[in-house]
Structure 1
Amino acid sequence: MARVIIPLYGMEVAPRFDLTSEVWIGVQGPDGHFLEERTVVMPQASAENLCQLILSEGADVVVCGGVEQEHYDYLVWKKNTVDDDVIAVLDAAKKALEEGGLRSGAVLLKRSVEE
């Protein structure tokens, strides 16, 4: 089982790690599907508070948008897998995680092109 944390901005992966005030937490079963999920509201947006939450929750994977190098390095040093530069709505990120296809730099938003 893997514990996954995704900082949110509304229903999307937050574009900036340090400005998120909401975090989605899910527990992924051996088959890849999420067995548990919940959303936590942070008392204030802070990269340090978010790192502390990630560690206290025992996260294995962090999916995020932009993250400063020092926070990225810290989380990797603490043995977290960090998939950064992800642009997606939460449901698309969850689906990609369940299918084993989410990677850093993934763009999972579909934009309509008006002619």
Structure 2
Amino acid sequence: MKILVTLTADQIAPRFDLCTEVLIAQFNDDRTGPEPRTVLLPGPSADELCSLILKEGIDIVVCGGIEDSFFQYLIWKKVRVIDRVIGPSAKALQLALEEGLRAGAVI
């Protein structure tokens, strides 16, 4: 399973379309895997971020606010989107892995 978290410093980015940094973590069935990696994007672009998500084979996206058109596009592409999340990225990643993170969560 691959999880992508939109970042602003060590927090979840408030807006998907203005994000310039993401955290990508990959986990095996036993919830182990390599160290998560941070990817810097060339600039804020929801289209480019969607392309990266599909290219990387991401299963779950954790983000703050996201436009409905991008939300629907990712859902159509079979990517689970957990949106409107506020809080530290490390805690959000842990909760997403444990399947305890819900849309609208304030961590």
Offset from partner CA, 1:73-94 (integer Å, 9 cap, x none): 0000000000000111011112
Runs of 4+ in 1 over 4 A off after TM superposition: none
How big is the alpha-carbon RMSD for the aligned residues of Structure 1 and Structure 2?
1.0
**TM-score normalised by the chain length of structure 1:** 0.88
Match of 1:55 in 2: 54
Compare CA radii of gyration and give the structure with the larger one: 1
SS of the aligned residue for 2:94 comes to helix
Are the aligned partners of 1:16 and 1:65 in contact in 2 as well (CA < 8 Å)? yes
What is the number of residues matched between the two proteins?
A: 106
TM-superposed CA distance for 1:29, in Å, is 2.0
Structure 1 unaligned spans of 5+: 109-115
Instruction: Map 1:1-115 to 2 at 5 A.
Output: 2-33=1-32, 35-36=33-34, 37-108=36-107
Question: Which runs of no fewer than 5 residues in structure 2 stay unpaired?
Answer: none
Q: Give the TM-score, by structure 2 length.
A: 0.94
Task: Give the distance between the partners of 1:32 and 1:104, measured in 2 at CA.
Answer: 22
Question: How many percent identity over aligned positions?
Answer: 45
